[in-house]
Amino acid sequence: MRRTLLLAALISVGYGLEGTPVAQGCNCPFPFPSICLGSATADPPTICAGQSVRLVTGAAIGLCLWSPSESVTDPLACMTTAQPSQTTQYFVIYVEAFGGCAVTREATVVVLPPSPTPTITAPASAVPGQVGLKASVVLHEGRYFQNTYEWTIFNGEITSGQGTNAITFSAAQRPVNVDEEPLGVKLSVVEKPYGSCPSGQATTTIPLGPVRNPRPVPFR
């Protein structure tokens, strides 16, 4: 019965021949020819790429059908989540509970672009165990807040500056080689502007050269 109602809604309130909704609308049975309720919301309506949004309809009888369905967790649920990669206009078909109207409702999710990926300035090379090394990116400041910076390191240790645009770090005493890549200290950073989407991850590798053997001291 619920699938029959859903199919009738698809035919009567705004789906094209290929199953794509073309407009918001409703089809109400007698004695409610002019009452058309129902709603659809996206919470939050604006997200960053990679984030999820909750899609919710008003009170519904039976199933709901969301379209486009590719990024929707459960396209037949009246409360579900979606993770669109770009700004998307979602339509949903369902039978609303008050008047039994088959309705098409719309909710738009705006996906903001990431902030520009920063460029890391770091030493051209280092040796295992070297300390006091410096790395930085350009500092960006808003009117009231400055951006924060999330650094990660492999084959080394950040000794100061985490969260800022400039860090001090040391190279590992015993670095390891992964996936046959050149031996080095790998630094990455994501810039997080206040009130905007994070940047893409910037990465650089500082090659590690051999440790020079100290001159032997003759035994006396």
> Is the pLDDT at 8 greater than 70, yes or no?
no
Mean pLDDT, residues 126-155: 91
> Thinking of the domain 2-112, which architecture would CATH place it in?
Sandwich (2.60)
Mean pLDDT, residues 174-203: 89
pLDDT recorded at residue 183: 87
Give the 3-state secondary structure of the chain.
CHHHHHHHHHHHCCECCCCCECCCEEECCCCCCCCCCCCEEEECCEEECCCCEEEEECCEEEEEEEECCCCECCCCCCEEEECCCCCEEEEEEEEECCCCCEEEEEEEEEEECCECCCCCECCCCECCCCCCEEEECCCCECCCCECEEEEEEECEEEEECCECCEEEEEECCCCCCCCCCCCEEEEEEEEECCCCCCECCEEEEEEECCCCCCCCCCCC
What whole-number percentage of the chain has pLDDT above 90? Answer: 57
Per domain, the residue ranges of the chain are 2-112, 133-207
The answer to pTM > 0.95 is no
